[in-house]
Amino acid sequence: MGDKLLVSTRKGLFWVQRTNSKWDIDRVDFLGDNVTLTLTDPRDGRHYAALDHGHFGVKVHRSTATGWEEIATPAYPPKPEGLEENDMWGRPLPWSTVRIWALAAGVADEPGVLWCGTIPGGLFRSTDHGSSWQMIRSLWDHPKRKKWMGGGADLPGIHSILVDPRNSKRVWIAVSTGGIWLTEDAGASWVQRGEGMRADHVPPELTHDPIAQDVHCLVQCPAYANRMWVQHHNGIFVSSDEGRTFTEIKQAGPSTFGFPVAVHPREPDTAWFIPEIKDEKRIPRDGRLVVTRTRDGARTFDVLTRGLPQHHAYDIVYRHGFAIDPTGERLAFGSTTGGLWVSEDQGDSWTGISHNLPPVYAVRFAA
């Protein structure tokens, strides 16, 4: 049961603890600093925090018995002399970690293995709890990687990493924009996945091209790994063949646009979304903050409002700002306007923990 939340914000890392049935902030680390993402490794309980110090760059910290220690930041290899590589805007593509956008732990048979996705598109793997990182060159050097483009950020980035719970050599990643990619040999080679997704903001000849897809968030049901859910720039897509093909879901409450998605850990047909008016506005419809939930594989959706602001609420929830605990009972999300809500009944009702946090970038259950 998730009793602790790690909330990454523009101005620090907030620990939110459930004590005597009440949730409250009980600790703040890195106060004043931009914390963009955390990972809690379920295999050993270690916490990892990604910080963006702006002028001083991106850093990674790992928890210790007494606090935090700075560890290695994934770093890009030297750019070959004379190589010209530009982004979609014609500017030189930096071979440098601009943002850490995904952190994932390996499975039980590979302790110490971590995966890290970055902007501008580098994927890294560590075998020593983040003390060092190796870039996955087979992906960075893949000729199609150069077709990735910026989406919400100017530069392309890897925001979702799924390690197959049945086989740690199989890893899916999702790219904004660049679609879904799969390795079945621990990163030695890669294939594109994600047939059936649709992008209507690109020229028609690219609409159905898997590499043109702006996946906002990709999740997988841990107990039924064939089931994946995608919150996409164009809406919601679901796969029953581990991401090989997707079906578009065209109706889901007020909107199918949004950034995050959560799936129940054991019930593959149960998933949650936080809808917004797409995409030029990106605000909740009618100023009502709602969560949508399906329990039947997206045939029907509940619109969940109890405990959420329904009058002039303009909270946006980023792709890493929504979390579900290992039991599938508790959910939590944080917003750009500093709101944080928790549900203990699968979203039927929500309790506001704070409305005054700094902008929230990520919410994760830590225990």
Footprint of another protein (CB under 8 A): 53-57, 59, 70, 73, 75-76, 78-79, 94-97
Nearest residue (CB) to another protein, 106 versus 122:
122
Nearest residue (CB) to another protein, 30 versus 172:
30
> What is the distance between the alpha carbons of residues 225 and 314, in angstroms, rounded to a whole number?
34
Environment class of 364 (CB within 10 Å of its CB; exposed 0-12, middle 13-18, buried 19+): buried
Distance of CA 155 to the CA centre of its chain: 16
CB of 79 to another protein, least distance (A): 6
How does DSSP assign 324-357, residue by residue? E-TTSS-EEEE-TTS-EEEESSTTSS-EEEES-P
> What is the distance between the alpha carbons of residues 262 and 331, in angstroms, rounded to a whole number?
9
**Whether the Cβ atoms of residue 301 and residue 282 lie closer than 8 Å to each other:** no
CB of 19 to another protein, least distance (A): 32
CB of 113 to another protein, least distance (A): 22
Nearest residue (CB) to another protein, 57 versus 287:
57
CB of 316 to another protein, least distance (A): 18
Number of C-beta neighbours around residue 184 at 10 A: 14
Nearest residue (CB) to another protein, 32 versus 203:
32
CB of 101 to another protein, least distance (A): 16
CB of 177 to another protein, least distance (A): 23
Nearest residue (CB) to another protein, 20 versus 56:
56
> What is the distance between the alpha carbons of residues 242 and 240, in angstroms, rounded to a whole number?
6
Nearest residue (CB) to another protein, 118 versus 294:
118
> What is the distance between the alpha carbons of residues 219 and 262, in angstroms, rounded to a whole number?
7
Among 209, 185, 184, residue whose Cα is nearest residue 197: 209
